[in-house]
Structure 1
Amino acid sequence: MTEPQVFSPDGRPRARALGIAPAGRPGAWNAITDVPGVEVGYVTLISGEGPLRVGEGPVRTGVTAVLARGRAGVGRPCAAGRYALNGNGEMTGTAWIDEVGQLSTPVTISNTHAVGACHTGSVRWINTTHPAIAREWLLPVCAETWDGYLNDINGEHVTPEIVARALDSARSGPLAEGSVGGGTGMNCYAFKGGSGTASRLVELGETTYTVGVFVQANFGSRRELTIGGRRVGLELEVENPMESTPLHHDSPAAPGGAGSIIALVATDAPLDPLQCTAMARRVPFGLARSGTTGSLFSGDLFLAFSTANDHPSDTAFPRTATPELITSTRMPWNRMDSLYAAVVEAVEESVLNALVVNTDMVGRDGHRSPALPHDALRELLKNR
């Protein structure tokens, strides 16, 4: 069996390199890209330091693009479903997913005030790269978490052109994690957070399926952080500036646990939209293993999709090009439990990777987000 990737492409240790290995068997890259066809692209924007000057910086943000069938497969729908644990956030395009149970556009993730740029950028990119699809109508999925503690969030640094660059950069293979793409300016459990991913292999009969997860982790209060069942957030002696530094000179610090998390779940197991929704509903169990209790000020939005049953869209015009009947295959409901477990395990590890593959970051107005300390964490977990 091939050992899963324990270091990021730039050589940084992931959770498994520290001996932290949640249950289950990962794929070769231990990433959402282990699901065949899935591609991920990033643009990371880091510039400036010192006092906040809106429109000038400091900039600590970016864009993540996830394409379920890769850049060549845009417009070919995947069965999809979503779940909102807490609605203090945004994920566009989900009303249409609720209606037809299909995802056929890329998913982009950035900061809260960049949703409009992501939407416009996605439409422009599809119009350029897949003009036949753009002649119909487009309802891209654009999701966000808040990076205003570190980033000039009102500076409009994410533009449609930046979004197109992220989409153009999408590739399969091992993924960078931590402070990259949309996760650049994010915090998790009052440590430096951001982008994280993991996967699990699931054997059902004679077939092995893959479940992959990608998270943009920007949630949780320091006191909640739990790793391997131990509440390490209470024991790690690391400064906690995020929960004590006023956001502005005339306002208090952000409440503990404020932020948000976006989670994408991909699989090549043949699922229908209701089963995808059921997969999305399992994400909170993985998050809970890391300690969160779900703050009111955290938008927690999850989307799951299946890349099986690849066929042309049945919602497009003209209707004359669509067969009278469409046949698809799905898992029996009584075979879903192994896939549910894979979601929970991969979500937990994705959050851990977002925390572990990281370094300290200083952003606007000198706001600091400390990295999770590897050596101290190893010491705490020795005798668990």
Structure 2
Amino acid sequence: MFSGNGHGKLVGSTQVDELGVLESPVVLTATLSVFRAADALLSWLMERRPDGVSFNPLVGETNDGHLSDIRRRPITEDHVLAAVAQASDGPPAEGCVGAGAGTTALGFKAGIGTSSRTVRTAGRTGTVGALVQSNFGGVLTVLGVPMPADELVPAADRTEPPGNSCMIVVATDLPVDARQLGRLARRAVFAMARVGASFSSTSGDYAIAFTTSDQPPIPDGEIDPVFAAVLDAVEEALLNSLFTAVTTTGVGGRTSHAVPHRAVIERLTAAGRLPAPPLIPESPSETRLRTTPARDEPGS
């Protein structure tokens, strides 16, 4: 576990940090739905372990109150149990899905993003994967080139709060111990700086890293390639969380605009970061999503 800035809620984190063991799936949701999600995950754990007397569900959050009516606390036990039951080893969905349906980051519509890297070190080959829930402030930066929302979408609504949060989950099948996983989690939060995060006082920036390996750990002297893979994978996952999102209108008619792909590529080309493309793709910003449910429907 690593807390870059602890203005948030990560239920169950202290026991994971203390013992270095995960007892449950990692569930991500909206701020005021954390506690209902944790209770639902507790039901799942109790059913699987009927003789258990203590359980530690792990649930993180970001505050999507700019677009969502979070006071309704629409997430139910059925939603959580369905999400856990439907989890698979296939590629996760990205953009305005799940806990990313109502999030914003760096002045644009954001959501869920993923990425991975292959690592070869200490005579072993493995994978480092990252999943992020982006909802934080700052100025979008791509390959070192600033992409201010005020310039790329000048007419956009600027009422979203400057802080908010980011949840980062790093998974690997490389052999690393709990202490080394803490080092990986720190690098995951460091990667937010690459995309322009402001790390404001009101941001809850958390990372959790875990391994599926029970083999003897990689020597510390050979762990740098794993650190590099974490930084790269998290950076790309953060960018994917924005580039796969679409313009979204939420509660009160507030709108968060998608990153305009055409403008980003033009700026990267002008800065010499990309060759001039034969055809600049259109932005997804013409696609629109509404997060506000009907009064008799559960929230997204």
Same fold (TM over 0.5): yes
Query: Does 2:257 match 1:370?
Result: yes
Query: Does 2:49 match 1:131?
Result: yes
Q: Match of 1:233?
A: 148
The alpha carbon displacement at 1:207 in A equals: 2.4
Query: Does 2:84 match 1:179?
Result: no
1:304-315 paired onto structure 2 within 5 Å:
304-309=209-214
Amino acid at match of 1:131: R
The alpha carbon displacement at 1:241 in A equals: 4.4
Q: List structure 1 runs of 4+ shifted beyond 6 angstroms.
A: none
Q: Which runs of 5+ in 2 are unaligned?
A: 272-300
Amino acid at match of 1:273: A
The alpha carbon displacement at 1:370 in A equals: 0.2
Query: Does 2:145 match 1:145?
Result: no
1:302-381 paired onto structure 2 within 5 Å:
302-309=207-214, 329-381=216-268
Question: What's the secondary structure of 1:154's corresponding residue?
Answer: helix
The alpha carbon displacement at 1:205 in A equals: 4.5
Aligned length, in residue pairs: 271
Q: Contact conserved, 2:31 with 2:64, CA < 8 A, in 1?
A: yes
Query: Does 2:109 match 1:204?
Result: no
Between the aligned partners of 2:130 and 2:208, the Cα distance in structure 1 is 10
Question: Counting helix residues as a fraction of each chain, which structure ranks higher?
Answer: 2
The alpha carbon displacement at 1:94 in A equals: 1.4
Between the aligned partners of 1:379 and 1:241, the Cα distance in structure 2 is 20
Between the aligned partners of 1:336 and 1:240, the Cα distance in structure 2 is 46
Q: Match of 1:382?
A: 269
Q: Please, what is the CA RMSD of the aligned residues?
A: 1.5
Q: Match of 1:295?
A: 200
1:36-115 paired onto structure 2 within 5 Å:
82-115=1-34
The alpha carbon displacement at 1:159 in A equals: 1.0
> Percent identity at matched positions?
37
The 3 A distance-change label for structure 1 pair 181 and 240 is: farther
The 3 A distance-change label for structure 1 pair 343 and 187 is: same
Q: Match of 2:186?
A: 281
Between the aligned partners of 1:330 and 1:167, the Cα distance in structure 2 is 29
Amino acid at match of 2:209: A
Q: TM-score, normalised by structure 1?
A: 0.68
Q: Match of 2:81?
A: 164
Q: Contact conserved, 2:107 with 2:149, CA < 8 A, in 1?
A: no
Question: What's the secondary structure of 1:340's corresponding residue?
Answer: helix
Between the aligned partners of 1:234 and 1:95, the Cα distance in structure 2 is 36
Query: Does 2:31 match 1:116?
Result: no
Q: Which runs of 5+ in 1 are unaligned?
A: 1-81, 246-252, 310-327
